[in-house]
Chains A and B, each alone.
Chain A
Amino acid sequence: MKGSNKLEELVILSGKGGTGKTTLTSAFAALSDSLVLADCDVDAADLHLILNPTIVKREPFVEGNEAIVDPKLCTGCGYSANFCRFDAFRKEDDGTYSIDTIRCEGCGVCVRLCPASAIKFEERHCGHWMVSKTRFGTLVHAHLQAAGENSGKLVTLVRKEARKIALEEGKKLLLVDGPPGIGCPVISSVTGADKVVLVTEPSLSGLHDLERVSRLAANFEIPVYVCVNKADIAPKLTKEIEKSVKESDNKFVGTIPYDEALVQAQIKGLSPMEYLSAAGRNHIEKLWENIWETN
């Protein structure tokens, strides 16, 4: 970030959940003096628990359609129900049918088949997205309803809004808390970003995730900066991860030891940088410097 005035977008990923991705995002947020934040972990958005946001804007998120039976028109013939491949129809006590919105895939087959035209095809309300003010900067975040499908579109929307705000506010950094996994939402969170930071753990699944995320980022020609959290839990595996990163095109930026103070910070609703001792903060500051030093 040094020098340049261009907006840099940094996405934090983890592969599997629970490795400390959100904690590290909140630490980095405290280390930057010119940023906008985007919480793209829309399935289980936790960043707001640390950032204590004040919501200034809230918009619905609509994606796809769902079939809804009008009980007044339904004759209970069951014709459409026979063709539903998703087992979404339920017979009610009064003989009419209803459609389980959780199971409905929104294909529209029943809507077209119903002899009584009793099935409506309506926009599916999947959740909402918000713009908030926090002590570190503006935050764009979202909430997906239970059984809502995260196809990546909401992630794209959150990033796009955050980028717009960052440019308007003239900020230097767009910091993105990415989704877990390596599926569609992750792909949506890294396309066009400048840097990916991968937070992993020294475990078999950590190693496995590292490979998969690296392959993904390589496809997009985005540099990956790897750090190992809870590194001293399995020092041998940490070394192994460090070695494999150094042999690749990616950069190893450091480790964070297992530290229960990180959880204490979370309980107090604080960023690690607002809570840890100087020694604890030092590990994270070093990571942060290593990420930018290569610029």
Chain B
Amino acid sequence: MKIAIASGKGGTGKTFFSVNLAHSLDRELLLLDCDVEEPNVNLFLKGELVEQRDSTLLVPQVDLDLCDGCRVCADFCQFNAIAVIRGVPLIFEDLCHGCGGCTLFCPQKAMDDTPHKIGVISHYHKGKISLIEGRLDVGKALAVPVIRDVKGDKEVAKHPLVILDAPPGTSCPVVWSLSGCDLAILVTEGTPFGLHDLKLAVETVREVGIPFGVVVNRDGLGDERVVTYCQEENIPVVGKIPNDREIATLYAQGKIVVDELPHYRALFTQIWENIASLAKGGRYERVQ
């Protein structure tokens, strides 16, 4: 079972929820950190690094002996990644999206695809929790290929339970993170901003077409508008986490709340049962 934790924008407690959910379940599981521009899961997990490799994108390389400077490649490239100066192609790897068009259409067959590093994939381990983290190199623009590498890692198929921390927002990287998951959990809070951002997230998950539920974080802050919206839209609310300064304080220090405060472990276990039954398409006890 693959469950994605997402939110319409950052700062709603998405990573907090993923990490604490993982710790509350006393079982083997795999976490995927797909928030590759800001991978924070291991700041909290503090797992041991077991393996690391590069994440790469196939970009063109020119064989100048074969190139006749015809410019077909530069004219084709939609991303302005190639310029031709005095008959010599100049390639800007940072702008390349790796579509392969230039290599494919080069009349002289002078171009070749070569791997170009855009990020790092790291495997961490702590107790029963494994983590695969994708980290985009600073200054690189393409998050999706790194996310693809995280989700495509051979470890993923070996784990019966995978919890995926998606990037915030509604853009392409979010869609790539969510697609193929069995269920998405959208983390929000009961404020006007929270509701507005939740609606954007709902629009995105519906576009991807997977079932989803909502977790209300910092419950008590704000009002009932999120719950009312969920009822109107028939969206299950699988859990509510109270607005508790103690949580904020522990989290700010990088601590795992369910390990420090046992009553939250019980709450997360309950939320997990709701999520599991939602994933099976079954009924679950509605959260009060």
Chain A residues with a Cβ under 8 A of chain B:
16-19, 22, 43-44, 46, 49, 64-65, 83, 85-86, 102-103, 105-109, 112-113, 144, 146-151, 180-181, 183-184, 201-206, 230, 233-234, 237, 258, 260, 263, 266-267, 269
Report the minimum CB–CB distance from A127 to chain B (whole Å).
11
Chain B residues with a Cβ under 8 A of chain A:
8-12, 37-38, 40, 43, 58, 76, 78-79, 97-101, 104-105, 141, 168-172, 174-176, 191-193, 196-197, 200, 203-204, 207-208, 221-223, 245, 248-249, 251-254
Once A83-B100, A204-B252, A269-B192 are accepted as A-B contacts, the answer to whether A46 and B245 lie under 8 Å apart by CB is no
Interface contact B204-A43, CB-CB below 8 Å? no
Report the minimum CB–CB distance from A41 to chain B (whole Å).
8
Which residue in chain B gives the minimum CB-CB distance to A268? B192
Q: Write 9 A-B pairs (CB below 8 A) sorted by A numbering.
A: A16-B10, A16-B38, A17-B9, A43-B169, A46-B192, A46-B196, A102-B175, A206-B252, A263-B191
When distances are taken between beta carbons in the complex, the residues of chain B under 8 Å from A22 are 193
For the complex of A and B, 9 pairs with smallest distance between CB atoms? A18-B11, A17-B10, A107-B99, A44-B9, A17-B11, A203-B252, A234-B252, A109-B101, A146-B204
When distances are taken between beta carbons in the complex, the residues of chain A under 8 Å from B10 are 16-18, 180-181
| Bound-state Cα–Cα, A134 to B187, Å | 31
When distances are taken between beta carbons in the complex, the residues of chain B under 8 Å from A144 are 170-171
Report the minimum CB–CB distance from A165 to chain B (whole Å).
25
Looking at chain A's contact residues, the main secondary structure is loop
Report the minimum CB–CB distance from B18 to chain A (whole Å).
14
The listed residue (B9, B78, B175, B253) touching A234 by CB distance below 8 A is B253
Interface contact B191-A203, CB-CB below 8 Å? no
When distances are taken between beta carbons in the complex, the residues of chain B under 8 Å from A181 are 10, 37-38
Interface contact A19-B193, CB-CB below 8 Å? no
When distances are taken between beta carbons in the complex, the residues of chain A under 8 Å from B245 are 233, 258
The listed residue (B40, B78, B252, B253) touching A201 by CB distance below 8 A is B252
| Bound-state Cα–Cα, A284 to B253, Å | 26
Which residue in chain A gives the minimum CB-CB distance to B57? A85
The listed residue (B172, B221, B253) touching A149 by CB distance below 8 A is B172
Which residue in chain B gives the minimum CB-CB distance to A44? B9
The listed residue (B11, B193, B196) touching A16 by CB distance below 8 A is B11
Report the minimum CB–CB distance from A91 to chain B (whole Å).
16
Which residue in chain A gives the minimum CB-CB distance to B222? A263
Interface contact A266-B172, CB-CB below 8 Å? no
When distances are taken between beta carbons in the complex, the residues of chain B under 8 Å from A19 are 11
When distances are taken between beta carbons in the complex, the residues of chain A under 8 Å from B170 are 43-44, 144, 146-148
11 extra interface residue pairs, beta carbon distance < 8 Å, beyond A109-B101, A112-B76, A203-B251: A16-B38, A46-B197, A49-B193, A107-B97, A108-B101, A149-B172, A183-B141, A203-B252, A233-B245, A234-B249, A237-B253
Interface contact A233-B252, CB-CB below 8 Å? yes
| Bound-state Cα–Cα, A44 to B105, Å | 39
| Bound-state Cα–Cα, A161 to B281, Å | 48
The listed residue (B12, B43, B141, B248) touching A233 by CB distance below 8 A is B248
Interface contact B252-A43, CB-CB below 8 Å? no
Once A18-B10, A44-B8 are accepted as A-B contacts, the answer to whether A266 and B207 lie under 8 Å apart by CB is no
Once A19-B11, A46-B193, A106-B78 are accepted as A-B contacts, the answer to whether A204 and B43 lie under 8 Å apart by CB is yes
When distances are taken between beta carbons in the complex, the residues of chain B under 8 Å from A269 are 192
Once A43-B169, A44-B169 are accepted as A-B contacts, the answer to whether A112 and B252 lie under 8 Å apart by CB is no
Which residue in chain A gives the minimum CB-CB distance to B193? A46
When distances are taken between beta carbons in the complex, the residues of chain A under 8 Å from B248 are 230, 233, 258
| Bound-state Cα–Cα, A46 to B105, Å | 45
Report the minimum CB–CB distance from B39 to chain A (whole Å).
11
| Bound-state Cα–Cα, A263 to B97, Å | 42
Interface contact B223-A267, CB-CB below 8 Å? yes
| Bound-state Cα–Cα, A230 to B99, Å | 45
| Bound-state Cα–Cα, A150 to B11, Å | 19
When distances are taken between beta carbons in the complex, the residues of chain B under 8 Å from A148 are 170-171
When distances are taken between beta carbons in the complex, the residues of chain A under 8 Å from B169 are 43-44
| Bound-state Cα–Cα, A240 to B10, Å | 24
Interface contact A260-B221, CB-CB below 8 Å? yes
When distances are taken between beta carbons in the complex, the residues of chain B under 8 Å from A267 are 191-192, 222-223
Interface contact A102-B98, CB-CB below 8 Å? no
| Bound-state Cα–Cα, A248 to B172, Å | 36
Interface contact B172-A102, CB-CB below 8 Å? yes
Interface contact A105-B253, CB-CB below 8 Å? no
Interface contact A146-B43, CB-CB below 8 Å? no
The listed residue (A17, A108, A109, A233) touching B249 by CB distance below 8 A is A233
Interface contact B191-A266, CB-CB below 8 Å? yes
Which residue in chain A gives the minimum CB-CB distance to B11? A18
When distances are taken between beta carbons in the complex, the residues of chain A under 8 Å from B249 are 233-234
| Bound-state Cα–Cα, A101 to B113, Å | 25
| Bound-state Cα–Cα, A112 to B196, Å | 41
When distances are taken between beta carbons in the complex, the residues of chain B under 8 Å from A113 are 104
When distances are taken between beta carbons in the complex, the residues of chain A under 8 Å from B172 are 102, 147, 149
Report the minimum CB–CB distance from B153 to chain A (whole Å).
17
Report the minimum CB–CB distance from B20 to chain A (whole Å).
15
| Bound-state Cα–Cα, A51 to B191, Å | 16
